């Protein structure tokens, strides 16, 4: 009877270790999903945060609301517009692009914002 149990011990250990490994993989995958959702939420929030900092006069040129804006991360260059805070030049920032009610040749209204604070740091040129 004792020999019978020892034969199955390696198999039992194998299955237990496989189960532990799978749990570790599941935990890592769950963490990646949480991080992706967090990044998406932060990206969506920047549109509204920047919208709240715009003046009523600036908003008059925007078609729709903050929900209509698109967001992307870019590396800011001085030649990209009127940059209020020059310390962000060469760094990654959000560019929030609001559609405009003005002439289509002018394009949308691009606003640069700090990734951490969502504070407006400048505006893009319009054609």
Give yes or no for residue 34 having a pLDDT over 80: no
Q: For residue range 43-85, what is the model confidence (pLDDT) as tens digits?
A: 568 999 999 999 999 999 999 999 999 999 999 999 999 999 9
| Whether this model's pTM surpasses 0.75 | no
Distance CA 123, CA 96 (A): 9
Distance in angstroms (rounded) separating the CA atoms of residues 67 and 56: 17
Q: Are 114 and 121 in contact (CB under 8 A)?
A: yes
> Alpha-carbon distance 47 to 6, whole Å?
63
The yes-or-no verdict on residue 102 having pLDDT over 90 is no
End-to-end CA distance of the chain: 87
Q: Contact at 8 Å (CB) between 49 and 118?
A: yes
pLDDT of the residue at 21: 63
Check pLDDT > 90 for residue 8.
Answer: no
What pLDDT score was predicted for residue 95?
Answer: 96
Mean pLDDT of the chain: 82
Give yes or no for residue 15 having a pLDDT over 90.
no
Question: Which pLDDT score, from 0 to 100, does residue 79 have?
Answer: 94
**Residues in Cβ contact with 60 at an 8 Å cutoff, skipping those fewer than 6 apart:** 101
Alpha carbon distances (Å) from 127 to 41, 96, 103, 106, 119: 31, 17, 10, 5, 24
Query: Model confidence at 107, in pLDDT bands (50, 70, 90)?
Result: confident
Q: Domain spans of the chain?
A: 2-124
């Amino acid at each position: 009877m004792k020999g019978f149990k020892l034969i199955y011990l390696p198999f039992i250990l194998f299955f237990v270790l496989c189960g532990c490994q799978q749990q570790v993989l599941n935990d890592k995958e769950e963490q990646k999903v949480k991080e992706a959702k967090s990044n998406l939420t932060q990206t969506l929030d920047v549109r509204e945060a920047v919208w709240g900092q715009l003046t009523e006069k600036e908003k008059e040129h925007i078609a729709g609301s903050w929900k209509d804006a698109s967001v992307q991360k870019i590396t800011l260059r001085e030649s990209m517009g009127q940059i209020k805070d020059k310390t962000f030049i060469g760094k990654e920032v959000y560019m929030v692009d609001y559609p405009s009610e003005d002439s289509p040749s002018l394009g949308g209204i691009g606003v640069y914002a700090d990734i951490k604070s969502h504070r407006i740091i400048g505006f893009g040129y319009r054609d």
